[in-house]
Amino acid sequence: MAQYDYDLFVIGAGSGGVRAARIAAGHGARVAIAEEHQVGGTCVIRGCVPKKLLVYGAHFAEDLEDARRFGWDVGTPKFEWPVLRDNVLSEVARLNSIYTTNLDNAGVEIHLARATLLDAHMLDVGGKRVTADKILIATGARPAIPDVPGAEHGITSNEVFHLDHLPERIVIAGGGYIANEFAGIFQQFGSQVTIVNRTDVILRGYDEQIRDRLLQISITKGIQFRFNAQFDRIEKHQDGSLRLSMSGCDDIEADAVLFATGRVPNVEGLGLEDVGVALGDKGQVKVNARAQTNVPSIFAIGDVTDHVQLTPVAIREGQAFADREFGNIDRTVDYAAIPSAVFSHPPLAGVGLTEGQARNKLGSVRVYTSDFRPMKNVLAGRNERSLYKLVVDEATDEIVGVHMIGPDSPELLQVAAIAVKARLKKADFDATVALHPTMAEELVLMK
């Protein structure tokens, strides 16, 4: 490998690319990484992390209201968006610095420039040519923007963290996790929120009972939904407000439009076609089980492959790639029983098969549910109810799916995911003593 400048060159310093670079360097490889934006990628800079901080901020709206029922005199709360926005951006900058330091400490050479493939082993990095024995594409994905006149007047999750002020009326396009998460955030901050979805299903892929419960709660909180609807045109008035001409529902007046209609793999301008790297029908980089493209020296991981667009999956893929190629460790990624969460208001989470998937795959299943009002909501005078659900294979008693909606559901689901991964049985849950009084005890009390 001495004939190359590097043993590994990584394009994209997001979670997956950073993990791959650090592990490969730890195995003794000469590694460089290129990033044209900020080190940290979507999750750290403009995704999971800043969004979760906004979710925390949004929860104070109801927490402060409920505090009075618990004896606290909180006066008249006032929310200031610029304070939260700037604090979140400061935290993002801190994390960016940490990621950069970690790469430096691992001995990874960082190029803050765009990298383009010239051939199977050569790249143009900010105008300089370099070579590598192996090249890893980890460029992630970006928000999709619908092809409608006036779409330039909308924003995406990339820009939402930088808003000068909160919109009084915001329309969110899409029915997935990003749409529902920001709907909860803006609603709690006081905006009038309308979700526009081209179908009549939100959160496709999650358990039907759980997503229906979120829909009911969201409507109760005041979030409006327009199903089977789509944009025809977006016009901007002189005062900055927007008129949305619609199909499937009445036209809408709004102050902001947030597009949350999926994500597109970042493959443009990398030179992939020139080198002959095969792409899929969604533009994703096609790879085998070992993250290798049809060009043997070029690999890809993370959202750019459109396998499972989750940060922990990209990290696992990056680790497995580096261990295989540079650590002589035959490691692959198991995509079964991956837990996922929606940080909506309230949050929901799930792992394994939904009830519908289990019936289609296994035939005979048992379903256990617990529909309850959390103790805190009882004293606070809130009627909002949580729902926990276990899906069990009738033939083996194995728990094949756990799904829940309610406070702290993602925190609880992580532990439940271990049970599904380990193929524990319903009898194992039944034999576990309940931890009282908690919401989590409902998981071992279902009959």
Mind telling me the catalytic residues?
436
CA distance 300 to 287: 7
Q: Are 293 and 277 in contact (CB under 8 A)?
A: yes
Q: Are 390 and 443 in contact (CB under 8 A)?
A: yes
Quote the tokens at residue 339.
């837990």
Q: How many CB atoms lie within 10 A of CB 241?
A: 15
CA distance 129 to 297: 17
CA distance 297 to 276: 12
Chain center to CA of 110? 26
341 three-state secondary structure: strand
Q: What is the full DSSP assignment across 160-223? A: GGG-SS--SEEEEE-SSHHHHHHHHHHHHTT-EEEEE-SSS-SSTTS-HHHHHHHHHHHHHHT-
